[in-house]
């Protein structure tokens, strides 16, 4: 089983698409509050490698590392298919 989670995002400003890799053991925080459904979360600011726009990423995961909730400012999460199809000329 992989220790990595792939997240694909698209920058709202220039349309650049990026693949982000998160290590479960390092990049993802465990949620300790009892009043929240999420088991894990990521809070990260991603800087676009094309236009240097800052994208605020907040993802919440269940115990199986499936995304339950997402908040993305200045960008959006896209599917792996969208990412791969866009990079094909």
Q: What is the DSSP string of 48-89?
A: PTTT--EEEEEEEE-TT--EEEEEEESEEEE-HHHHHHHT--
At CA 41, angle to CA 9 and CA 62, rounded to 5?
100
Over residues 1-26, the mean pLDDT reads 93
d(C-alpha 1, C-alpha 70), whole Å: 24
Whether residue 87 has pLDDT greater than 90: no
d(C-alpha 29, C-alpha 2), whole Å: 17
Over residues 14-41, the mean pLDDT reads 93
Over residues 65-76, the mean pLDDT reads 95
Residues 59 and 76 sit within 8 Å (Cβ to Cβ): no
The structure's pTM equals 0.85
Over residues 28-56, the mean pLDDT reads 94
């Amino acid at each position: 089983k992989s220790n990595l989670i792939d997240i694909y995002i698209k920058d709202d400003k220039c349309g650049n698409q990026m693949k982000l890799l998160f290590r479960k053991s390092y990049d993802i925080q465990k949620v300790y509050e009892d009043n929240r459904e999420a088991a894990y979360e990521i809070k990260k600011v991603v800087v676009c490698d094309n236009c240097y726009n800052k994208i605020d990423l907040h993802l919440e995961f269940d115990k199986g590392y499936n995304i339950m909730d997402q908040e993305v400012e200045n960008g959006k999460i896209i599917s792996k298919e969208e990412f791969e199809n866009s990079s094909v000329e």
